[in-house]
Amino acid sequence: MEDAVEDTAGAWQREAAGEAAGEAAGEAAKDTAREETRVAEAKLALVTLFREHQLSLTRTALMIVGDRPTAEDVVQDAFVEMHRRIDRITDHDRMLPYVRAAVVNRCRSVLRRRRLAPRLWRTYEPPVWSAESAALIGEDRAAVFHALRRLPERQREALVLRYYLDLDEPEIAEVMGISRSTVRSATSRALAALARDLGEES
């Protein structure tokens, strides 16, 4: 009798263990499916982001680095890097701020390399704005953007983000990685310098 009870109890235990394992496997499969869905949604959101903002981001990069091919490369690299990290993205609303910051950081890297180039090869020449670049930003704004290029890097970035992308002070501070007070100072000085520069040209 005791043996029969033990056999029955053992069978129940094995059955329960099997059910638990099955449930665990089922939950794991659900988790995997949820993760795959999340990543797929993030990829779709990234494609939408690219279609909606690629042109404005390219123009932004153009105003900072000064030539269209480099600007296009900068934006493409920013999106490629984001695609590599797509599995880490949990908040789609953070995608655009991330890409903006990536574009600005890559523009800074380009400018740093350009400043270093003359020391290494002594043959570097600053890029000349082509007719294609002027068309991309608008002929009527070309004079302003030529004046922008003569501003210090940080001031130029602040003005482009504020008056071209229409970002507010906190957003600019986040993209540039500086304080709000520094944003205010950079913007104020840039506007004053731009006004003087354009006034001298007129």
Which residues, at least 6 apart from 90, have a Cβ–Cβ distance to it below 8 Å? Answer: 38
In the predicted model, what is the mean pLDDT of residues 3-27? 66
Is the model's pLDDT at 3 over the cut of 70? no
> What amino acid occupies position 185?
S
Cα(63)–Cα(105) distance, integer angstroms:
14
Q: Is 105 exposed, middle or buried (0-12, 13-18, 19+ CB in 10 A)?
A: middle
At 164 the pLDDT is 82
Of residues 61 and 144, the one with the higher pLDDT is 61
Q: How does residue 15 score in pLDDT terms, banded at 50, 70 and 90?
A: confident
Going along the chain from its start, the domains and CATH numbers come out as 19-129 (no CATH), 138-202 (1.10.10.10)
Q: How does residue 129 score in pLDDT terms, banded at 50, 70 and 90?
A: very low
In the predicted model, what is the mean pLDDT of residues 150-161? 89
In the predicted model, what is the mean pLDDT of residues 66-95? 90
- Weakest mean pLDDT among 129-133, 145-149, 173-177: 129-133
> What amino acid occupies position 99?
V
At 93 the pLDDT is 86
Which residues, at least 6 apart from 92, have a Cβ–Cβ distance to it below 8 Å? Answer: 41, 42, 45
Of residues 58 and 122, the one with the higher pLDDT is 58
Cα(80)–Cα(78) distance, integer angstroms:
6
Query: How many Cβ atoms are within 10 Å of 109's Cβ, its own excluded?
Result: 13
Q: Which helix (H) or strand (E) holds 183?
A: helix 180-201
Is the model's pLDDT at 81 over the cut of 70? yes
Tokens in use for 196? 């003087």
